[in-house]
Structure 1
Amino acid sequence: MNIIETVKNAGIVGAGGAGFPTHVKLSAKAQVFIINAAECEPLIETDKYLMRTFPDEILKAAETVAEHIGAERRVIALKSKYQKEIEALQRAIDKNGSSFELVKMKSFYPAGDEQTLVQLVTGHSVPERGLPLDVGSVVSNVGTMLNVYEAMQGKPVTDKYLSVVGEVAEPIMLYVPIGTSLQECIDQARPQLEEYDIIVGGPMMGTVYRGSDIQDLTVTKTTGNILVLPKDHYLVKCAELSLSSIVAQTRSACIQCKLCTDMCPRFLIGHKIRPNMVMRNMYREKLITDDSEYEEIFGEAANCCDCGICEMFACPMSLSPRKVNVFVKTQLAARGIKPERNKTPKASADLPYRRIPTERLVARLDLMKYYHEHAEKCIPLTPNQVSLLMKQHIGAPGIPCVSIGDLVEKGDLIVRAKEDALSASVHASIKGTVTLMDGERIVIDKEKE
């Protein structure tokens, strides 16, 4: 069985992003293979833990993948401040005679953004709304590589490493079956508040959930971090703002300082995106009926990567160009407008000087209280029940291949990827009985001992 079939059968998707099925990404040929070890957002601990703990396994999988895609240049890109991780990887490289080089970068946000990373490593800017493959590169996450290694040993994706940080007794790493309740994960870290909200993911691009919603949330293949915050924290309040309020503020308070554009990472790698121009014209957005005029004025919003720098760092008026861009993108889609793409962007000469230092960003987000705390231990957790989403990836959901009442072993296939579609399989993460199937999730109760 070749590596593509191995990865597909294991149900591997991108562990550190949106969950793109890995077997599709690795079906291409590329000159450069980049392992993204930057841990893009502050406070997340997962990739650093994996690099310290499994450097040999990550490298073995990465070598196999690099050979398969024909990559001549092979890179692990990480921040220079990750000294323990650099030492662990360098030892593994030297011991195994690995062909990978370590590219060390300054600590800035969003260092782990694929397009930012490709530009930094290769000097080439990915085309607007394009893929790293468009400039001869493939990028994968360290967690994905660990899953590839385990697939090479015959183990499908059934478990997940994730960090729990913020208002907890101490930051911890957990190793849990996919489908584990997030509340159980949080309880393991001993939250220090009776009432709290959470961000699943990082503080910039993660999703805010109110305390009352946590009970319904479970670990997926892409869950990497849970940030526990007070209910009145700045980030929670920002998430509560309605779109109508944001648009009203934009129309009245934008001072056209242009900082949202000057600091935009997509603008800096040469993409045509000027958030300040979108903000300037929001007052008449509903008045424009002609599609060509709408595209001319608002089409650039399609190039927004949703990183949040404009709203969380750049804007002195605390406005949200990001959310305005999200709204405009829905309007472009509703009108059937597909703006033209610049396929040969050139990075700005100002790019190295406009990167946002991570520590300054953390201070702006009011998270310094948690910034210098790190998760050093990992706790395994086995719940009595798991609730597995049938779709944990970009693309089409798979086809269930179990029924209520079926007994399953850990690792059994329960959702088969659709053929001829962008899809991924799902496997049982504990041994037990299927007790619920509702079209979106499959619940398995642990076998009683």
Structure 2
Amino acid sequence: MDIVQKIREAGIVGAGGAGFPTHIKFSVDKVDYLLVNGAECEPLLQIDKYLMREKASEIIKILEQLGDRIQAKEIHIALKGKYKSEITELENAIKNLNSRVKIFKMGTYYPAGDEQQIVFEVTGRTVPEAGIPLDVGVIVTNVGTLVNIYEAVDSDKPVVDKCLSIHGEVKKPLIIKTPIGMTFEKCIEAAGGATIDNYKIIVGGPMMGKVIVKESLKKEVVTKTTGALIVVPEDHYMIYRNGKTVKHIVNEAKSACIQCRMCTDLCPRYLIGHKLRPHRIMRNVSMLENDSEILKEAMLCCECGICELFACPMQISPRLVNIHLKNIFRKNNVRFEKSTRELAADSMREYRKVPTDRLISRIGMSKYTDFSEKKAVVLESDEVSIPLKQHIGAPAKPVVSVGDHVECGQVIGEVKEGLGANIHSSIEGIVIGIGDSVIIKNKGANK
């Protein structure tokens, strides 16, 4: 079976958060660069580092196969230069396998793991506005995605489990490997439970993650794209910032925006040449100027949060305004037309990179950076609730019925046409419910 078909059958999607079906990404004949994102964009996250330490040989082996499949002229793993042990493991694997893969060492800045930043750093090419890396001859993939591809090709294993890190106000921060569909409650229990009573959870990284309340822990579950759970006090600065209403944000802009343009000057997409000017967008919103061409620039935003969480001296929220505008444009089927103009990076880009340590301090996360655990704890579950939509595109359609016995790895949801990915059972058991998720219970579990 062709490697792309194996990727499709295994239900592999981008493990770094976006969930784009991977078989579509690799259904090309030829590229200049195959790049691996090992820079772990968000502060605090640990999984890419863990996988590069533990699975270095597997990563290099599958990169060689993928590089041959898409006729990549060059293959690079881009990661932060401070990842000393990870670099050593990868370099040893490259040497032992006589591989052509190269290591590209990046600085410690945020958002180094943004794929368009990686493309620019490694190749010097700027992805067009509203474009994708393939527009400049590049494919970018994530470390976790690569490990899933290796397992699919090497042993026909579909995506049935996920590594994620547990941080924050827990007794023992750790890395876990858990069946997909396990509840967040059980994940946090594995870390010894929360150390405080009143808390909320950031799912993903602190800058772009989704905030949920602790009452949701029993129903929220691990998916193919879950990267981390961060337990923080419910009155934490990041919770407050993410809880603002659109009306509140607009009123703040009207009363406080001083048009200093710091949000624009530090915007990573602006600095690689995109016409994204948050200060102009904020002026339009606050002054009700309604210039549609300027407002549409919001669709170029990668939502990294530098504008509101690091740049703005008035602590207002361009990112949340951009997200609000993007939702309106999507609802009205308005798209930003892909740019054909020649793009050039700002000459000050190198001097305006945001140091990760300073950012972590600014957002009140410094106390959660001590992460000594290096190995993953493997969890098991007697019951899972597996969402049929864990990817960009249409949800998978269930191919099992209530009462069916399923094996671990068996297909339980399919996407036969269009954008999507297959879904597999993560445990052996009996199907006890089907809705937006397929609920499976092990026969030996307590009733």
Pick the TM interval, shorter chain. Answer: over 0.9
Equivalent residue runs for 1:107-146 within 5 Å: 107-146=108-147
Q: Helix, strand or coil: the match of 1:99?
A: coil
Q: Helix, strand or coil: the match of 2:304?
A: coil
> Match of 1:10, as an amino acid?
A
Q: Helix, strand or coil: the match of 2:217?
A: helix
**Alpha-carbon separation, structure 2, partners of 1:334 and 1:425:** 27
1:379 is matched with: 377
Structure 1: state its 5+ residue gaps.
Answer: 289-293
Say whether 1:295 aligns with 2:292.
yes
Q: What does the per-residue CA deviation read over 1:154-176, in whole Å, with 9 as the maximum and x for residues that have no partner?
A: 11110111110111122211011
When structure 1 is superposed on structure 2, of 373-382 and 204-213 the one drifting more is: 373-382
Q: Is the 8 A contact 1:295 1:337 kept in 2?
A: no
2:205 is matched with: 202
1:291 is matched with: none
> Match of 2:397, as an amino acid?
I
Say whether 1:282 aligns with 2:285.
yes
TM-score, normalising length from structure 2?
0.96
Q: Once the 2 structures are TM-superposed, how far is the Cα of residue 341 of structure 1 from its aligned partner?
A: 3.5
1:429 is matched with: 426
> Match of 1:298, as an amino acid?
L
Q: Is the 8 A contact 1:193 1:230 kept in 2?
A: yes
Q: Is the 8 A contact 1:271 1:342 kept in 2?
A: no
**Alpha-carbon separation, structure 2, partners of 1:391 and 1:339:** 26
Percent identity (aligned): 47
Residue from 392, 397, 408 that aligns with 2:395: 397
Residue from 214, 218, 238 that aligns with 1:215: 218
**Alpha-carbon separation, structure 2, partners of 1:321 and 1:253:** 12
Residue from 193, 197, 216 that aligns with 2:196: 193
Q: Once the 2 structures are TM-superposed, how far is the Cα of residue 423 of structure 1 from its aligned partner?
A: 1.0
> Match of 1:99, as an amino acid?
R
Structure 2: state its 5+ residue gaps.
Answer: none
Q: Is the 8 A contact 1:33 1:137 kept in 2?
A: yes
2:307 is matched with: 310
> Match of 2:267, as an amino acid?
C
Equivalent residue runs for 1:65-214 within 5 Å: 65-152=66-153, 153-190=155-192, 191-214=194-217
**Alpha-carbon separation, structure 2, partners of 1:408 and 1:340:** 46
Q: Is the 8 A contact 2:109 2:353 kept in 1?
A: yes
Q: Is the 8 A contact 2:79 2:105 kept in 1?
A: yes
> Match of 1:422, as an amino acid?
L
Q: Helix, strand or coil: the match of 2:218?
A: helix
Residue from 355, 360, 365 that aligns with 2:358: 360
Say whether 1:243 aligns with 2:246.
yes
Q: Once the 2 structures are TM-superposed, how far is the Cα of residue 335 of structure 1 from its aligned partner?
A: 4.6
Q: Once the 2 structures are TM-superposed, how far is the Cα of residue 145 of structure 1 from its aligned partner?
A: 0.5
**Alpha-carbon separation, structure 2, partners of 1:333 and 1:413:** 32
2:270 is matched with: 267
Say whether 1:224 aligns with 2:227.
yes
Distance 1:411 1:340, change over 3 A: closer
**Alpha-carbon separation, structure 1, partners of 2:369 and 2:430:** 42
When structure 1 is superposed on structure 2, of 370-379 and 62-71 the one drifting more is: 370-379
Say whether 1:40 aligns with 2:41.
yes
Distance 1:334 1:49, change over 3 A: closer
Q: Once the 2 structures are TM-superposed, how far is the Cα of residue 203 of structure 1 from its aligned partner?
A: 0.4
**Alpha-carbon separation, structure 1, partners of 2:256 and 2:80:** 37
**Alpha-carbon separation, structure 2, partners of 1:168 and 1:97:** 43
**Alpha-carbon separation, structure 2, partners of 1:220 and 1:337:** 30
Q: Once the 2 structures are TM-superposed, how far is the Cα of residue 70 of structure 1 from its aligned partner?
A: 0.7
1:417 is matched with: 415
Q: Is the 8 A contact 1:52 1:89 kept in 2?
A: yes
**Alpha-carbon separation, structure 1, partners of 2:67 and 2:355:** 31
**Alpha-carbon separation, structure 2, partners of 1:61 and 1:297:** 43
Q: Once the 2 structures are TM-superposed, how far is the Cα of residue 59 of structure 1 from its aligned partner?
A: 1.2
Q: Once the 2 structures are TM-superposed, how far is the Cα of residue 383 of structure 1 from its aligned partner?
A: 1.2
When structure 1 is superposed on structure 2, of 99-108 and 368-377 the one drifting more is: 368-377
Q: Once the 2 structures are TM-superposed, how far is the Cα of residue 397 of structure 1 from its aligned partner?
A: 1.4
**Alpha-carbon separation, structure 1, partners of 2:76 and 2:334:** 38
Q: Once the 2 structures are TM-superposed, how far is the Cα of residue 135 of structure 1 from its aligned partner?
A: 0.4
How many residues of Structure 1 are paired with residues of Structure 2 in the alignment?
441
Q: Once the 2 structures are TM-superposed, how far is the Cα of residue 372 of structure 1 from its aligned partner?
A: 3.1
1:15 is matched with: 15
**Alpha-carbon separation, structure 1, partners of 2:287 and 2:326:** 16
Q: Once the 2 structures are TM-superposed, how far is the Cα of residue 334 of structure 1 from its aligned partner?
A: 4.3
Q: Once the 2 structures are TM-superposed, how far is the Cα of residue 90 of structure 1 from its aligned partner?
A: 0.6
**Alpha-carbon separation, structure 2, partners of 1:87 and 1:339:** 42
Q: Once the 2 structures are TM-superposed, how far is the Cα of residue 336 of structure 1 from its aligned partner?
A: 4.5
Aligned-residue Cα RMSD (Å) equals 1.3
> Match of 1:186, as an amino acid?
I
